[in-house]
Amino acid sequence: MEIVPRLTRRSSRAALASPLLALAGLGLHVRRNMGARDAELRRVAAASENAVGGTFANTEPGLPRVRASLRMLLNMLRSRAGRGVPPGPVPLARPDVPRVPAGLAVTWLGHAGALLEVDGRRVLVDPVWSEYASPVPFTGPRRLHPPVAPLATFSDSDVVLLSHDHYDHLDRPTVLRLARDTSAVFVCPVGVGAHLRSWGVPADRVVERDWDGVVHVAGLTLTCLETRHFSGRGLRRNTTQWAAWKVAGPDHSVYVGGDSGPSRVHARTGAEHGPFDLTLLPVGAYAELWPDIHLDPEQAVTAHRELSGRVMLPIHWATFNLGFHPWDEPVERARKAAAAHDVVLALPRPGRRIDLTGISTTDGARAAVPAEPWWPAPR
């Protein structure tokens, strides 16, 4: 009789099959998170005048890069592991979402996320509710604080506005819930819509634009603006466009910076589309190793001035540890740079709403925005 050996062989096969099935499931999950397949991205890019050979590019040459020494890398890794995270819980505010949107208000959601209220409409910017900014559900940059509120809090948004397809700005689980639970229109740069459609967002709720393209939706005018960055969710870079946005109503306008490196485009945008009542500009994840990818705090303040902005909200810090600098360094440097140039800097804790309706002077704006430190300094 070979009953025991047969059972042993069956058990061995079952034991081998379980991890293989788990790996296959994980692979499928990762593939779905990555979005549209390369062939579809190439097809979409082929219709854009800003793409060449299926990829997009910046209009300015790259900046000189510092060659990394072993000492530099060790110092960067040491900073990331130590002072790159807050020493305790990040203080949050409970969002106040009024029944009727204001003329001009902003609620910072952490990182690059924000809820804009512009002339009675709501625009949800780069919402990310997942724990990890990564295609893999258990690794990659992890949130340093929980979401400020359940996603359903923002279900009355008229527009979901996306700047580009990096995982800390475009999150598949968040997109799926917004597509299911809201009637919002998704507005994004060329190519990003292919990701959305691949995830099941109805095509009639997706609007894509190239740089300088205009969208009229919900009584607002959204203009897709050039910025200096890159894109990609898989092995190939720059398969979709990256962008900043102007969000304008009849009475107010906001500049949404997304991700950007230092560029002459800010001055041109200010001359052609400014002034702006509010700018959202990234101040974190900068490094000498990638000088043209992210603005540093001083460069962000300069960009705000070039854009002819009234109030600047620093974004792209506090939520994900994407750089090698101390956790609070971006905001501390931004405060000093803003003070040196008389720039009004709004410094709300994540979740706090700032109402700027009816404020038309610099002094009035300064009195209306929170400016005192709330963040725990790294040890």
pLDDT per residue as tens digits for the range 283-340: 999 988 889 999 999 999 999 999 999 999 999 999 998 988 999 999 999 999 999 9
How far apart are alpha carbons 379 and 377 in whole angstroms? 6
SS3 23: helix
pLDDT at residue 1 in the model: 46
How far apart are alpha carbons 314 and 330 in whole angstroms? 9
**Confidence at 63, pLDDT banded by 50, 70, 90:** confident
CA angle 304/308/309 to nearest 5° reads 60
Q: What is the pLDDT of residues 110-142, one digit of tens each?
A: 999 999 999 999 999 999 999 999 998 878 899
b/e per residue 181-213 (b: at least 16 CB within 10 A): ebebbbbbbbbbbbbbbbbebeeebbbbbbbeb
Rounded to an integer, the average pLDDT of 74-94 is: 76
With 0-12 / 13-18 / 19 or more C-beta atoms within 10 angstroms meaning exposed / middle / buried, residue 22 is: exposed
53, part of any domain: no
pLDDT at residue 362 in the model: 87
Lookup: tokens for 104: 């001009």
13-27, 43-57, 81-95, 223-237: range with lowest mean pLDDT: 13-27
Q: Domain total for the chain?
A: 1
**Confidence at 361, pLDDT banded by 50, 70, 90:** confident
SS3 208: strand
pLDDT at position 349 over 70: yes
195, part of any domain: yes
Tokens 């720039």 correspond to what residue? 343
pLDDT at residue 13 in the model: 59
On whether the CB atoms of residues 314 and 331 are closer than 8 A, the answer is yes
pLDDT at position 78 over 80: no
Most confident of 60-64, 176-180, 284-288, 323-327: 176-180
**Confidence at 62, pLDDT banded by 50, 70, 90:** confident
2, part of any domain: no
pLDDT at residue 27 in the model: 58
On whether the CB atoms of residues 195 and 35 are closer than 8 A, the answer is yes
Average model confidence (pLDDT) across the chain: 90
pLDDT at position 14 over 90: no
Structural domain of 325: 89-368
167, part of any domain: yes
pLDDT at residue 250 in the model: 98
Q: What is the pLDDT of residues 201-236, one digit of tens each?
A: 999 999 999 999 999 999 999 999 999 999 999 888
Rounded to an integer, the average pLDDT of 188-206 is: 98
Taking Cα atoms as reference points, which of 243, 247, 272 lies closest to residue 260? 243
What type of residue sits at position 372? E
Comparing 162 with 24, the larger pLDDT belongs to 162
CB-based contacts of 223-226 (< 8 A; 24+ apart in sequence): 223/248, 223/273, 224/189, 225/255, 225/265, 225/269, 225/273, 226/59, 226/265, 226/269
51, part of any domain: no
CATH number, position 245: 3.60.15.10
C-alpha distance from residue 257 to each of 120, 237, 285 (Å): 22, 20, 14
Comparing 77 with 172, the larger pLDDT belongs to 172
130-134, 256-260, 269-273, 285-289: range with lowest mean pLDDT: 285-289
31, part of any domain: no
How far apart are alpha carbons 65 and 87 in whole angstroms? 32
pLDDT at residue 376 in the model: 82
**Confidence at 106, pLDDT banded by 50, 70, 90:** very high
49, part of any domain: no
Rounded to an integer, the average pLDDT of 349-365 is: 93
69, part of any domain: no
Rounded to an integer, the average pLDDT of 144-154 is: 98
Region of residue 358 (phi > 0: left; psi between -120 and 50: alpha; otherwise: beta): left
Lookup: tokens for 268: 């041109």
Residue 78: half-sphere exposure toward Cβ, Cα within 13 Å: 6
SS3 180: helix
pLDDT at residue 66 in the model: 61
pLDDT at residue 234 in the model: 84
60-64, 149-153, 215-219, 368-372: range with lowest mean pLDDT: 60-64
How big is the chain, counted in residues?
379
Taking Cα atoms as reference points, which of 141, 131, 138, 128 lies closest to residue 172? 128
